[in-house]
Amino acid sequence: MQIRMAWLGCCLGAIASGAVIAKPMHSVASPTVIVDAHGLGEQGVRDLTDAEGVLWHAEFGSELLLGVQDASLPSWLARDDARAGPARLAFDEIVVRDHVCTVHSPETPLAVVGGYQILRRPPALVRATKGAAIIGEPLPEDGVVARLAANSALANQAKGANPTTARIVAKVDAARWFEDVSGLAAINRNSFSDELPHARDWLLQRLSDAGLQTGTHSYTLNSSSCGTSLPDRTLDNPWGFKRGGRRADEWIVIGGHYDSRNAVRCDGVSNVQPGANDNASGCAGALELARVFRNVPTERSLLFICFSGEEQGLVGSLRYVQDLIAEGRMAQIKHMINLDMIGHAVSDNLDARVETNNAQEALLAVYATAAATYAPELNLITSAATQAYSDHWYFLSQGVPAVFTWENGAGIYPQYHSVGDLPTAMLRAEAVAGGILKMDTAVLVDQAIASDLLIDNFEGAVH
Ligand SMILES: [Zn+2]
C-alpha cells in the first residue's frame, strides 16, 4: 500500500514531464522461476503472468521468467513445466544478450532462458547502456524479448498455399544443405587462418554451379578486436548474383558469415576450427536458397553472399554496407535475410527464431504466415528486440527491411565456439534448417516475384 500511494504521487509528475516510468515491481528483487511457454496460447501466457504471487515477468519466446513472491515459490517449483531461475533478481537489473560472436565478454550468464543469456547489472548502468549495442540490452518495458508466434496474435496465420510458391518451397533440399555444411566444416575458416581463401573458392565454385554470376567484395581486416596485434589481412566476401527482370535494380540480399572460431577469436594457428553450426550452417543455407531459385524467374535481383570477419565484430558485413553507402546504392537493397546458426534444435518442438528491430516489426507477421503455411513443423519465435550480434545488424541500421532467421539462440548449443562444433553435434539439423529455409523461400517468393506472375503460376517456369 505504502509503495503504491508514494508511486502514484511521483508518476503523475513523471507523466507530465514525459519521463520513463519504472514500474514499481520492476525494482523488486525476488525469487524467480522459468516456465515452459510451449502450447500456452495468448491467454495461457496472460493467465501465468497475471497469476497470484507474480511480481514481474519477462517473455523469452519458448520460456517465461517470472519474479514471484517467496511464499509462492514452492508451488511454482512443484509444476512439471517450471524450473528454478536466479535466486533473487529484479526486472530492472536484467541484461539480455545472445550469440556473443561479436563481443569479448568474460561474464558468465546467470541463466539461459529461451536460448537467451541473462546477466545482472546495477539498474542505473542497465539504463545507461540501453541501445549502446555493446554487451547486452535491458528488458523492453513490457518484458517481451521474444514471443512464440503460437502464443501471440500471430497464431494460426496459415493461409492457403500458393501452388507456385509451394512448388518453389518444395525445392529446398535439407540433405544437400547438410552436405555443404560438412564440406565447409572440413575447412579451417578463422578470419586469420591461411585456409580461409580455400573456403572462399569452394563457395565461389558452388555459387557458379548454381548458375549465378560470381565475384568477391574485398576489404582489410585489422586485429583491433583481437586483444593482440596481428598483421592486417585482405579478406573476401564471396557472392553470387541472380539478375532480376522488370525490377532488376531492386536487390534482395541473402547472407550468412562463413568464418569460424573456437574459444580464441583471432586464431590463425589452430588448424581445426570447424564452425559447423556457427556458421557453415547459415552460409550453406544461403547457397541452398541460391539453388532453390535457380531457373525461377524473379522481378527483383537476388544477391547471395557469405561474409567473413563476423567473429571479429561483423566486419565483413559492415564493410559491405559502408561500400554500398559510398556508392550511393544503399536504397537499392529492398530486403535482407541473415542466416547464422540454423542447424540445432533441442527438442521436436523445432523452435526457430525470426528477429528484427522495432522499425521493421511488421515483417514478423510476414514470416509467421510463411512459416505457418509452408513450414508448419517449426515453432516460430518472433522478436523485435534484436541486437548487434550478427550480419543483419548494419543493414537494419541503414533502414533496410532485414531479418535474422535462425535456431532458438546460441545459448542452446553446447558446442558453441568450440572445436566440437561439428556436423554431428547439431541435433535435428535437417529438420530445423529445412524448416527455416522453407519459410525464407516462401517470403523470398513474395519479395522477389511479382504477384501477377505467381497468379498465373507460370507452369513451365518452375522445375
Ligand atoms: Zn555466428
pLDDT tens for residues 150-190?
999 887 777 889 999 999 999 999 999 999 999 999 999 99
Give the pLDDT score at 5: 42
User: How do strand 333-339 and strand 402-407 relate by DSSP bridges?
Assistant: parallel
**If you measure from the C-alpha of residue 278 to the centroid of ligand 1, how many angstroms do you get, rounded to a whole number?**
5
**If you measure from the C-alpha of residue 103 to the centroid of ligand 1, how many angstroms do you get, rounded to a whole number?**
12
**If you measure from the C-alpha of residue 183 to the centroid of ligand 1, how many angstroms do you get, rounded to a whole number?**
17
Give the pLDDT score at 106: 64
Question: What mean pLDDT do residues 239-262 have?
Answer: 97
**If you measure from the C-alpha of residue 355 to the centroid of ligand 1, how many angstroms do you get, rounded to a whole number?**
15
Q: State how far the Cα of 137 lies from the Cα of 119, in Å rounded to an integer.
A: 10
Q: Quick one: pLDDT band at residue 13, thresholds 50, 70, 90? A: very low
CB 335 within 8 A of CB 400: yes
**If you measure from the C-alpha of residue 312 to the centroid of ligand 1, how many angstroms do you get, rounded to a whole number?**
10
**If you measure from the C-alpha of residue 139 to the centroid of ligand 1, how many angstroms do you get, rounded to a whole number?**
23
Distant-in-sequence, close-in-space partners of 84: CB < 8 Å, separation ≥ 6: 32, 33, 34, 77
Which amino acid does the sequence have at 72?
S
Give the pLDDT score at 10: 44
CB 6 within 8 A of CB 35: no
Give the pLDDT score at 73: 96
Query: Does this model's pTM top 0.85?
Result: yes
**If you measure from the C-alpha of residue 316 to the centroid of ligand 1, how many angstroms do you get, rounded to a whole number?**
12
**If you measure from the C-alpha of residue 309 to the centroid of ligand 1, how many angstroms do you get, rounded to a whole number?**
10
Residue 11 clears pLDDT 60, i.e. is over it: no
**If you measure from the C-alpha of residue 335 to the centroid of ligand 1, how many angstroms do you get, rounded to a whole number?**
20
**If you measure from the C-alpha of residue 100 to the centroid of ligand 1, how many angstroms do you get, rounded to a whole number?**
8
Question: What mean pLDDT do residues 340-350 have?
Answer: 97
Q: Quick one: pLDDT band at residue 4, thresholds 50, 70, 90? A: very low
Residue 460 clears pLDDT 50, i.e. is over it: no
**If you measure from the C-alpha of residue 71 to the centroid of ligand 1, how many angstroms do you get, rounded to a whole number?**
42
**If you measure from the C-alpha of residue 32 to the centroid of ligand 1, how many angstroms do you get, rounded to a whole number?**
30
**If you measure from the C-alpha of residue 108 to the centroid of ligand 1, how many angstroms do you get, rounded to a whole number?**
19
**If you measure from the C-alpha of residue 229 to the centroid of ligand 1, how many angstroms do you get, rounded to a whole number?**
23
Give the pLDDT score at 225: 85
Which amino acid does the sequence have at 261?
R
Complete domains list, the chain, with CATH: 6-146 (no CATH), 163-461 (3.40.630.10)
**If you measure from the C-alpha of residue 389 to the centroid of ligand 1, how many angstroms do you get, rounded to a whole number?**
8
Residue 378 clears pLDDT 50, i.e. is over it: yes
**If you measure from the C-alpha of residue 191 to the centroid of ligand 1, how many angstroms do you get, rounded to a whole number?**
13
**If you measure from the C-alpha of residue 448 to the centroid of ligand 1, how many angstroms do you get, rounded to a whole number?**
26
**If you measure from the C-alpha of residue 388 to the centroid of ligand 1, how many angstroms do you get, rounded to a whole number?**
12
Residue 233 clears pLDDT 80, i.e. is over it: yes
Residue 395 clears pLDDT 70, i.e. is over it: yes
More confident residue, 284 or 21: 284
**If you measure from the C-alpha of residue 275 to the centroid of ligand 1, how many angstroms do you get, rounded to a whole number?**
9
Q: Quick one: pLDDT band at residue 2, thresholds 50, 70, 90? A: very low
**If you measure from the C-alpha of residue 359 to the centroid of ligand 1, how many angstroms do you get, rounded to a whole number?**
24
Length of the chain: 463
pLDDT tens for residues 99-142?
555 445 567 889 999 999 999 988 888 877 666 555 688 899 99
Give the pLDDT score at 396: 98
- DSSP lists the bridge partners of residue 256 as 306
**If you measure from the C-alpha of residue 33 to the centroid of ligand 1, how many angstroms do you get, rounded to a whole number?**
29
Average pLDDT, the chain: 90
**If you measure from the C-alpha of residue 390 to the centroid of ligand 1, how many angstroms do you get, rounded to a whole number?**
7
**If you measure from the C-alpha of residue 257 to the centroid of ligand 1, how many angstroms do you get, rounded to a whole number?**
7
Residue 18 clears pLDDT 50, i.e. is over it: no
**If you measure from the C-alpha of residue 57 to the centroid of ligand 1, how many angstroms do you get, rounded to a whole number?**
29
**If you measure from the C-alpha of residue 177 to the centroid of ligand 1, how many angstroms do you get, rounded to a whole number?**
17
**If you measure from the C-alpha of residue 378 to the centroid of ligand 1, how many angstroms do you get, rounded to a whole number?**
21
**If you measure from the C-alpha of residue 375 to the centroid of ligand 1, how many angstroms do you get, rounded to a whole number?**
23
Percent of the chain with pLDDT over 70: 89
**If you measure from the C-alpha of residue 429 to the centroid of ligand 1, how many angstroms do you get, rounded to a whole number?**
16
Q: Quick one: pLDDT band at residue 237, thresholds 50, 70, 90? A: very high
**If you measure from the C-alpha of residue 311 to the centroid of ligand 1, how many angstroms do you get, rounded to a whole number?**
7
Give the pLDDT score at 24: 59
Q: Quick one: pLDDT band at residue 371, thresholds 50, 70, 90? A: very high
